[in-house]
């Protein structure tokens, strides 16, 4: 049910996410040292091209990785027709990407 291209893409996005998760978690730990404060976070992220790039890449990697993974789970448990399977995976990818990019836009712009 999963061809070699999707399989490789899921592994590649996993490779991308591994360091991103560490940076993201590390940042959370650093950020809450002086208490959790929205203005402090926004001061770090607003207008920052670096964090914008980081989180856009992170969100896209998550959306692709999760969509492929859920596609396999759905294929193996529900065995839908191929077009239903592919459409579902695309919907998952787009929903995750839109939600994530919207959140990135909210803290960067």
Distance CA(64)–CA(97), nearest Å, equals: 8
- Considering only 76, 80, 86, 106, the residue that binds another protein (CB under 8 A) is 76
Q: Is residue 8 part of the contact set for another protein (CB under 8 A)?
A: yes
Q: How far is the CB of 28 from another protein (least distance, A)?
A: 31
Of 35-43, 56-64, 70-78, 94-102, the window that binds another protein (rule: CB under 8 A) is 70-78
Largest CA distance in the chain: 52
The H-assigned helical ranges of 32-48 are 38-45
**What does the chain come to in residues?**
109
CB 90 → another protein: shortest distance, Å? 18
Residue 34 is a binding residue for another protein (CB under 8 A): no
Instruction: Retrieve residue 105's tokens.
Output: 């836009």
Stretch of 22-30, 32-40, 69-77, 91-99 contacting another protein, by CB under 8 A: 69-77
Q: Which is nearer to another protein, 9 or 31 (CB)?
A: 9
Residue 55, exposed/middle/buried by CB under 10 A (0-12, 13-18, 19+)?
A: buried
Phi-psi map region of 79: left, alpha, beta (phi>0 left; psi -120 to 50 alpha): left
- Catalog residues that contact another protein under the rule CB under 8 A: 1-4, 7-8, 11, 75-77
């Amino acid at each position: 049910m999963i061809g070699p291209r999707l399989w490789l893409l899921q592994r590649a996005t996993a490779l991308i996410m591994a360091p991103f998760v560490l940076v993201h978690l590390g940042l959370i730990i650093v950020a809450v040292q002086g208490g959790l404060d929205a203005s402090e976070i926004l001061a770090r992220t607003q207008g920052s091209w670096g964090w914008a790039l980081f989180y856009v890449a992170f969100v896209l990697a998550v959306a692709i990785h999760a969509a492929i993974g859920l596609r396999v789970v759905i294929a193996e448990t529900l065995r839908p027709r191929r077009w239903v399977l592919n459409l579902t995976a695309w919907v998952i990818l787009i929903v995750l990407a839109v939600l994530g990019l919207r959140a990135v836009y909210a803290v960067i712009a």
